[in-house]
Amino acid sequence: MVKLAKMNNYVSQIVKALRQHPVRPEWTGVNTAFLVLAVLLIPLEYILFYTGELHSKIDQAAVALTFIQYIIINLFLIP
């Protein structure tokens, strides 16, 4: 119980500090470019998934594009 109380105190201190100094990263043109690229990949993925047969090369390309899209999404969320 003592460890839980110390942990709760530690968490409350972090929350209090974040409320006093909120972090607001700036949105840049690079973030916008990554966002547009990620959104533009959606129709291409849709076409590839529904035109290729299961486990075909087209389906594998669609899966690879999806992985790339996930990486792009993480990049545009970085401040």
pLDDT digits (tens, 9 = 90+) for 19-75: 777 667 788 888 889 899 999 999 999 999 999 788 889 999 999 999 999 999 988
How many CB atoms neighbour CB 46 within 10 A?
A: 11
Backbone angles phi, psi at 5, to 5 degrees: -65, -40
Q: Which domain holds residue 43?
A: 2-76
Compute the average pLDDT of residues 9-23: 76
Angle, in degrees to the nearest 10, between helices 57-76 and 29-51 = 160
Structure tokens at 51: 């035109």
| Tally of CB atoms within 10 A around 26 | 6
Please give the pLDDT value at position 25: 72
DSSP string, 38-59: HHHHHHHHHHHHHHSPTTSHHH
pLDDT of res. 9: 76
pLDDT bin (cut points 50, 70, 90) of residue 79 is: low
| Collapsed DSSP state (helix, strand, coil) of residue 63 | helix
Predicted TM-score of the model (pTM): 0.62
